[in-house]
C-alpha cells in the first residue's frame, strides 16, 4: 500500500483535470457493473480444468457461466500483447526465458498445454497438447464483442507502451468507445501508474486497483478516496481481507473483487462479507453457489 500512496501524489496532479465526478462507468452502468449483481470472473479462464490463458480455458470459462474472461497481459520483444500470467514462459510452456526477450514467432513455437496434463493427470486431455499461447487479438477474435474481458496489465514497468497498445486493440475491435457498453471491458493492475495512464487516455474505461498485502489488509479513508478518483473497484487476496475491509471499501462506493476464491466455503464467506464479485478457477462452482443463494 505504501507504493500506492507514493506513486499517486504526482500522477494525480497531471490527470485530475480529466476526472469525471465519478468514473463514467457508473454513468452508463451495464448489468455487469451493477453492485447488486455478483460478478463471476473466470480466473485465467476456467483454469481449474484447463491450461490457464489458453483458448480452451477461456471457452470453458464462458461455458461455465463466467461473466468475464480474465486476460493477463505480457508483451513480446516485437511489441505484441499476449495472454500470460508470468513474465517468464517457464511455468506454463515448454520454453524458458522472459517474454520481453522473445519475439511473437518464438512464443508461438511453445507448447502451452502439455504442462497441465503432466501436472494434473486426472484432468488431462489430448487436445491440450501443443496449445499455443494466444495473443490478445486472437482472444478477442475468438470470442468477439459478445464476451466481456477483465484485462490486467502485468508488470507494465517492464513494457513501455503497453497501455497504448492495449487501447489501440480495444478500439480496433470496438470494445471501448462511444458505441460500446462500459461493462464490456474492465482493466485492472497492481500498478496505479498503469491505470492512470489508461485513465488519461480514456476516462470512461472502468478500472480496478489491485493491491497486494503481505499481512492482513488495512486501508485508510484517504487511500480509498485516492483510488476512487480513477477506479471503480479494488481487488485483493481473499486470504488477506475480512468483512470490515470489504465494508469499508463498499462505503466508498467501490466494488470489491477478491482473488482467487476456489472453494464453496470461501465463496460463501466472502459473499457474506459483501463482495460484489470474485475471481475463481472454478466458475461452475461459483455459479452453483450464486444460484442457490
pLDDT digits (tens, 9 = 90+) for 38-97: 999 999 999 999 999 999 999 999 999 999 999 999 999 999 999 999 999 999 999 999
Mean pLDDT of 132-161: 98
CATH class, domain 2-48+64-86+147-292, is alpha beta
Q: How far apart are CA 110 and CA 131, in angstroms?
A: 8
The residues with which 210 forms a beta bridge, in sequence order, are 235
The pLDDT, as a whole number, for residue 38 is 97
Residue 152: strand pairing partners: 72, 188
pLDDT band at 241 (very low <50, low <70, confident <90, very high): very high
Mean pLDDT within 134-149: 98
> What are φ and ψ of residue 277, in 5° steps?
165, 175
φ, ψ at 291 (rounded to 5°): -65, -30
199 contacts 230 by C-beta, under 8 angstroms:
yes
Q: Which residues are catalytic?
A: 43, 85
How far apart CA 159 and CA 65 sit, in angstroms, is 33
DSSP-derived secondary structure letter, 100: G
Look at residue 13 in the predicted model and tell me its pLDDT.
41
What's the confidence (pLDDT) of residue 35?
87
pTM: 0.90
Domain regions of the chain by residue span = 2-48+64-86+147-292
Cα-based distances in Å from 264 to 124, 247, 269: 23, 21, 9
Per-residue pLDDT at 24 exceeds 60? no
Overall residue count recorded for the chain in this entry: 293
**pLDDT-based confidence at 8, cuts 50/70/90?**
low
pLDDT, tens digit, for every residue of 96-113? 999 999 999 999 999 999
What is the rounded distance in angstroms from the CA atom of residue 240 to the CA atom of residue 242?
A: 7
Q: Cell numbers at residue 37, please?
A: 449483481
211, 189 Cβ separation under 8 angstroms? no
Predicted confidence band of residue 182 (pLDDT cuts 50, 70, 90): confident
Average pLDDT, the chain: 92
Residue 181 — pLDDT band, cuts 50, 70, 90?
confident
Q: What's the average model confidence in pLDDT over 199-219?
A: 97
Amino acid at each position: 500500500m505504501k507504493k500506492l500512496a507514493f506513486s499517486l501524489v504526482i500522477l494525480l496532479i497531471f490527470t485530475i483535470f480529466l476526472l469525471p465526478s465519478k468514473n463514467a462507468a457508473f454513468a452508463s452502468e451495464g448489468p455487469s457493473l451493477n453492485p447488486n449483481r455478483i460478478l463471476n470472473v473466470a480466473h485465467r479462464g476456467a483454469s481449474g480444468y484447463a491450461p490457464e490463458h489458453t483458448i480452451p480455458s477461456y471457452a470453458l470459462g464462458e461455458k461455465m457461466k463466467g461473466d468475464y474472461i480474465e486476460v493477463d497481459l505480457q508483451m513480446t520483444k516485437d511489441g505484441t500483447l499476449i495472454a500470460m500470467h508470468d513474465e517468464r514462459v517457464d511455468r506454463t510452456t515448454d520454453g524458458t526465458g522472459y517474454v520481453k526477450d522473445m519475439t511473437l514467432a518464438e512464443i508461438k513455437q511453445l507448447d502451452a498445454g502439455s504442462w497441465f496434463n503432466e501436472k494434473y493427470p486426472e484432468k488431462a486431455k489430448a487436445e491440450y497438447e501443443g496449445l499455443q499461447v494466444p495473443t490478445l487479438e486472437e482472444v478477442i477474435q475468438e470470442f468477439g464483442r459478445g464476451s466481456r474481458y477483465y484485462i490486467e496489465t502485468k508488470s507494465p514497468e517492464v513494457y513501455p507502451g503497453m497501455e497504448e497498445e492495449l487501447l489501440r486493440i480495444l478500439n480496433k475491435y470496438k470494445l471501448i468507445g462511444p458505441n460500446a457498453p462500459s461493462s464490456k471491458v474492465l482493466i485492472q493492475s497492481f500498478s496505479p501508474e498503469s491505470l492512470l495512464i489508461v485513465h488519461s487516455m480514456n476516462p470512461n474505461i472502468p478500472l480496478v486497483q489491485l493491491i497486494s498485502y503481505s499481512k492482513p489488509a488495512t486501508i485508510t479513508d484517504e487511500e480509498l478516496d485516492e483510488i476512487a478518483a480513477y477506479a471503480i473497484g479494488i481487488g485483493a487476496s481473499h486470504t488477506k481481507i475480512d468483512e470490515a475491509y470489504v465494508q469499508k471499501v463498499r462505503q466508498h462506493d467501490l466494488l470489491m473483487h477478491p482473488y482467487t476464491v476456489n472453494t464453496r466455503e470461501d465463496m460463501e464467506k466472502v459473499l457474506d462479507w459483501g463482495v460484489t464479485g470474485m475471481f475463481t478457477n472454478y466458475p461452475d462452482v461459483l455459479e452453483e453457489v450464486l444460484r442457490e443463494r
